[in-house]
Amino acid sequence: MHVLNVLSFLLITSCLCDGRRAKENKADYEHGMKIKTHYEPKSMFRMYTHGMDINDACTVKLFQAHTLQSCSFNSSHPLVIIIHGWSMDGMIESWVTRLAGALKSTQKDINILVSDWMTLAQQHYPIAVQNTRVIGQEITQLLMWLEDLTQFPVSKAHLIGYSLGAHIAGFAGRNLATSGRTLGRITGLDPAGPLFEGMSSTDRLSPDDARFVDAIHTFTQQHLGLSVGIKQPVAHYDFYPNGGSFQPGCDLHVKNLYTHLSQYGLMGFEQTMKCAHERAVHLFIDSLLNRDKQIMAYKCRDSAAFNKGVCLDCRKNRCNTLGYGIKKVHTSTSKRLYLKTRSIMPYKMYHFQFRIQLFTQFENTDLSLTIKLTGTLEESEALPITLVKVSGNKTYSFLITVDTDIGDLMMVHVSWEAESLWTNMWSKVKTILPWGSKEDGPQLTIGKIRVKAGETQQRATFCAETEDRGSIRALEEKIFVRCDKRQEKQELMRTRG
């Protein structure tokens, strides 16, 4: 058991890895063209050029003005600084180049710097955590130098930090605030949890660190009381895809843990566990590459309430777009936003709240429904829904998501399965059921179905296509249409009659 606990702790900390080895060097730097000081850099700032490997990128050196010109820094363009996290192997992860490339290809007129702090990141995790303040201070110096030298306003700077890098961005923003300057934006991509969870706002990323702060939480599942990503809100808008604890498609990596351990040794932890942690990065990249499939998220108190579909409301900034194109609304308190995603890019899914009236003689029985949606553009696949402890005559609310844009919803197809429990109960109660003949078998009666589409905010009420109050035998499919459409059809039939 002790060995398993140690392995679990390593599992948590090891997936916070990215980066490469950096070389330290010493140089004389010029500050504001007036002050020269002997400065020993702790990190490197690599200027990304589209199509170029990060390792070969031009280096901007603090207080050396000529490096800005040689690296083609343009003070009239916005600046994005990408900050990696902790590293085990000292190698820059491929996501860094992918993110930089996505920014450059979609934004074009933009300066992109990568903060390479591998020398201090490739340490024992607690030491790397201590080093985050050092790197935060160095980014502060860079931004203040750029503003003093080129009049580039720090309000046009956007820091994107992954894991430990998210807290580095926070420290940089807080340092700027003490000098009376306000950083433009910080995006935290699954900010690191260990040694930051539960800390005060001054010791981690917080909404106070920039004019606008957003964060995406993708791996808050706890082991030994710790989670890889921080669970608490740390931004103006905190996004929790799929509840934030784990991500679809990553369970296969966990199942392959022992295979990866035997193949890669301790580096196998990285192979198995970085999937969910790094998903935050790829969700952000997705927001850049798939501009026509922007992901909407919705304010909700927790994941359980969201899964009931009760939170698809966009009034008063209760919803927002995940990623680069987020609506930057400053809020007094952190907003928790929830959403569902696919397991692969593009990640967007479409959200529907269903409220369905059920009439049954059964008590506390789990009900398996199959629902299929027909819209003006497409038809969804069959969607399994399980309602727990169905009793009497009640209205049940739940969330349905589809991965294609079906257009305006026009029809709902519903069927249900008679499980063994239902079959056994039927033999005892069929004589008192008011509907159907004794040979019909157990039936379910469905009243009106009310649906709200999250992405369009449209509402519609659906009624059974035929006038039999939506009674459905097991395995039989019943079609529900918009109630107003059914009324139009009935009026037309009366007119013709």
Residues in the annotated binding site for Ca(2+): 204, 209
C-alpha dihedral sign at 487, 489, 491, 493: negative
Q: What percentage of the chain's residues is helix, strand, coil (to nearest 5)? A: 35, 30, 40
Rg (Cα) of the chain, in Å, rounded? 27
Which of 14, 87, 163, 415 is catalytic? The answer is 163
User: Residue 392 is encoded by which pair of tokens?
Assistant: 């009497």
277 is catalytic: yes
Helix ranges (H only) for 384-482 are 420-429
In order of 292, 296, 458, the CA distances from 339 in angstroms are 17, 7, 18
Catalytic residue among 277, 287, 351, 415: 277
50 catalytic, yes or no?
A: no
Write down the catalytic residue from 116, 190, 214, 238. Answer: 190
Reduce the DSSP state of residue 167 to 3 states and report it: helix
Compute the distance between CA of residue 249 and CA of residue 155 in angstroms, rounded to an integer. 38
Q: Which helix (H) or strand (E) holds 278?
A: helix 268-289
Q: What are phi and psi of 489, to 5 degrees?
A: -65, -45
How do strand 478-482 and strand 459-464 relate by DSSP bridges? Answer: antiparallel
Candidates 136, 142, 143; CA nearest to 165 is: 136
Angle between helices 257-264 and 268-289 (to 10 degrees): 110
Total number of residues shown for the chain: 497
Annotation says 190 is catalytic:
yes
Could you give the CA distance from residue 253 to residue 426 in angstroms, rounded to a whole number?
44
Cβ–Cβ under 8 Å, residues 476 and 369 = no
* Strands 111-116, 44-47: pairing kind: antiparallel
β-pairing, 185-189 vs 212-216, is parallel
Residue pair 71/5 in contact (Cβ under 8 Å)? The answer is no
From residue 250, alpha-carbon distances to 81, 164, 247, 303, 323 in Å are: 28, 21, 6, 19, 21
- Which of 131, 96, 129, 94 minimizes the C-alpha distance to 113? 96
Q: How far apart are CA 374 and CA 426, in angstroms?
A: 32
Strand partners, 268: none
- Active-site annotation, residues: 163, 190, 277
